[in-house]
Amino acid sequence: MVTMPGVVEGPAVRREVARNEYPVSPVSTRPSSPSLSLLREIVVEASRSASLDEQVDCVVRKVHEAMRAEVCSLYLSNGSAELLLLATVGLDRRVAGRLRLAVGEGLVGTIAAKQLALRLEKASGHPAYRYFPESGEEAFEAFLGVPVVHLGRTLGVLVLQDREPRSFDDEDEAFLYTVATQLASTLERWSKAPPAHRRSGLGRERRITGARGAPGIAIGRLHLVHNELALAAIDEEGVDAESELERLRGAVQRTLEGLDTTIEQLRSTVAADVLEVFEFYKLMLVDEKLVTVAEHRIVAGHSAAGALRAAVEECANAFQSLSDPYFRARAEDVHHLGDRLFKALSGDGPELADNGSDIVLVGKVVSVGDIAHYRPDRLAGIISMTGSPFSHTAVLANALGIPAVMDTGEIADLCEGEVVALDGYHGVVTLEPGLVRLAEYGKLIEQEKLLDAELLTLRDEPAVTTDGFRVTLLANTGLLADSTPGLERGAEGIGLYRSEIPFMIRADFPSEDEQAEIYGQILATYAPRPVTMRTLDVGGDKPLPYLEFEEENPSLGWRGIRFTLDNKAVFLTQLRAMLRADVGRGNLRILLPMVTRVDEVTGTLDLLDAAVEELRGSGHQVWRPPVGIMVEAPAAIALLDLIAPHVDFISIGSNDLSQYVLAVDRNNPRVAGRFDHLHPAVLRTIAGVVKEARRLRLPVSVCGEMASDPEAVVALLGMRINTLSMSSFNLPRIKNLIRHLSLSGARACLEELLRLDDEKAVRRRAAQEMEARGIGRVMAAG
């Protein structure tokens, strides 16, 4: 007999090999315990495989050999409620890639649903047993299966089977669990691999999952965007500095003219203020840093193209280094602008295309410039292989009502004109969809049209419950282009304006005049509706590019109000700019971020009073606006009674508050699955804040993702919170939800929610309350 290295022979595993049509390799033993050397051998051999397919097959084959089982199979979770037989040794290999079962169906489905191992001497006697004729597995009774789990998510199920009843023991299960743990990372990569790198037997449809960019359902034909200009590869040296400077300046001027042309071309088809996306590009283009960096490189001997590359990369990296996803997304804007500049440098000009009514744009990067290249009524959808839900591409897609999926990863083997179905609600793309899926999506598209038309009629209606409780719905924004769609969707003001953008795109602090002009545009757009402007929230996780410092734990570091009070001259300038912008309008409210101390509030109020006095002395008719704090840190909750005499309102920042209460960084993939603002601890904390604020007679609002989560809104309504601030798109649907709920029903539901010990249970109960009111279509048709 041949013994594998590292394999220990034991009486528990010696038995006669059954002579049948399922031959096994001439290995006579398996480990009596999880052998590190055997595991190492499996991992090393699998790592030498040329493809992920071969890695999966190698692991299944080696486990089959080592465990002396007649069958070893691996099932893959396809991201929905379904399992697919991915690889097998012992069953008919022709069923690999075709045999499917639902999670919870059969023994394998039960393991996937419960994430627990299952050991059976006689599988057919188990109540969950189900026979699949195509597999030929009726001959196998002994069964051992373990889930393959990665970061709390079931990726698949690894199974051993034998013909004769056999008692798999604890050692067998422990070894299989250990292999499954090693297999998890491979299976995770396999599930995300481009289809060209995966076996073709998975069916005609190709499903790719990305990030939700803009909601909606679309069916169309792919149009490939070829926008990879490889700026990073351009670094040749220039010959004549003066001529290269002229080339750069000419490109800048042509790009500015091109942006103006784009604005004019789109002016008749989109809301005027949506075009502020392109105005933002112009603002970045005339900023001194971008041009100055490029000019310095040219003087140092580089060509205009090489200098442009350096300037774009330096500015983009300044944004990319930030942890806040909203500001990281601005790096995409810098690259999009660099793309336009390089086209201008190369002599290419913009044209408005008209390629039919069912076009779905797809590319490694789909920029707002690419979108502007086509008439909005000719675009069905957008697929960007990179990019963020916070990017201007997603912002513009939302504003235009075009479904979009971002960050899909590389998609191989795309064909121009290929049919695609796109689900922007869940971030799913289906290439070559079958007739059943096409019919399903077509029905959803018709339902979407009816629902949107129905919700549009609610724009000027109040968000009031069936028993008369009134809720004010506000919009969150960071740019004018983000904010104006809110007016079209019924926003009653801005609940959170992020004031950091003018500070992030410059080489130094913006002047008071520049800030006053920007803030004035926002206030004028919404006047007389209230606009709540959060003061500069930088530092720590959002360092300014011209103030470099590093911290080991930026979330607990020099950020928010701590930063501004340590830079009083900067803070005073911003407060003066806000006060000046509000002259003649009177709709400004000031919000202080990351407050953890009483003296942070009083110190800010002293600065504000000084700014008011200075400006009045200069002849400006300013007034002191209402001032509130963000409740994000537990310290602010504990000190609320001491802070209350100094402020006019509070706003609960549900994103950061959830992070600090749960001690979970939602940007960390290892723990992001544990982040949920409906976790009982978060729910109880917010309920406590609301109760204390009511006692102190402080108005309360909630901003962040919680305000647009329908299940969370049920709970917030039960707390009698009467102001919510959210993204513009969700305004009509949350309004529709509130108009179908009753305050009394939400309060009764909240009492139950506060007694539950699990966020999943909280969501189920809140969803039941929605269904009881007949409002299952609130967030999406179908």
Residue 161 host element (H or E) = strand 153-162
Residues facing residue 100 across a β-bridge: 84
| CA 290 to centroid of chain Cα atoms | 29
For residue 557, the number of C-alpha atoms closer than 13 Å in the C-beta half-sphere is 15
Long-range contacts of 79-87 (CB under 8 A, 24+ apart): 79/191, 79/207, 79/209, 83/108, 83/109, 83/112, 83/156, 83/157, 84/202, 85/135, 86/56, 86/156, 86/190, 87/56, 87/57, 87/60
Using the Cα atoms of residue 394, residue 397, residue 398 and residue 403 in order, give the sign of their dihedral.
negative
Instruction: Tell me the DSSP string of 491-545.
Output: --SEEEEETTHHHHTSSSPPPHHHHHHHHHHHHHHHTTS-EEEEP---BTTB--T
Task: Determine the residue type at 460.
Answer: D
β-strand pairing of 463-464 with 470-477: antiparallel
β-strand pairing of 700-703 with 649-653: parallel
How many angstroms separate the CA atoms of 76 and 150, rounded?
12
Catalytic residue among 64, 335, 392, 679: 392
Cα maximum dimension of the chain: 101
For residue 458, the number of C-alpha atoms closer than 13 Å in the C-beta half-sphere is 22
Between CA 111 and CA 78, with CA 440 as vertex, the angle to 5 degrees is 25
How many angstroms separate the CA atoms of 489 and 473, rounded?
10
Per the document, the length of the chain is 782
Q: 286-313: buried (b, 16+ CB within 10 Å) or exposed (e) per residue?
A: ebebbbebbbebbeeebbbbbbbbbbbb
Structure tokens at 765: 């109960």
Instruction: Tell me the DSSP string of 704-764.
Output: SGGGG-HHHHHHHHHTT--EEEE-GGGHHHHHHHHHH--HHHHHHHHHHHTT-S-HHHHHH
β-strand pairing of 531-534 with 588-592: parallel
How many angstroms separate the CA atoms of 89 and 270, rounded?
58
For residue 403, whether the previous peptide bond is cis, meaning omega lies within 30 degrees of 0, is: no
Answer yes or no: are the C-beta atoms of 504 and 327 closer than 8 Å: yes
Question: In this structure, how many other beta carbons lie within 10 angstroms of the beta carbon of residue 372?
Answer: 24
392 classed as catalytic:
yes
Between CA 543 and CA 349, with CA 287 as vertex, the angle to 5 degrees is 125
Instruction: Tell me the DSSP string of 640-674.
Output: HHHHGGG-SEEEEEHHHHHHHHHT--TT-TTTGGG
Taking each helix axis from N to C end, the angle separating 170-192 and 52-67, rounded to the nearest 10 degrees, works out to 170
Catalytic residue among 72, 315, 703, 749: 703
Question: In this structure, how many other beta carbons lie within 10 angstroms of the beta carbon of residue 760?
Answer: 10
Catalytic residues: 392, 703
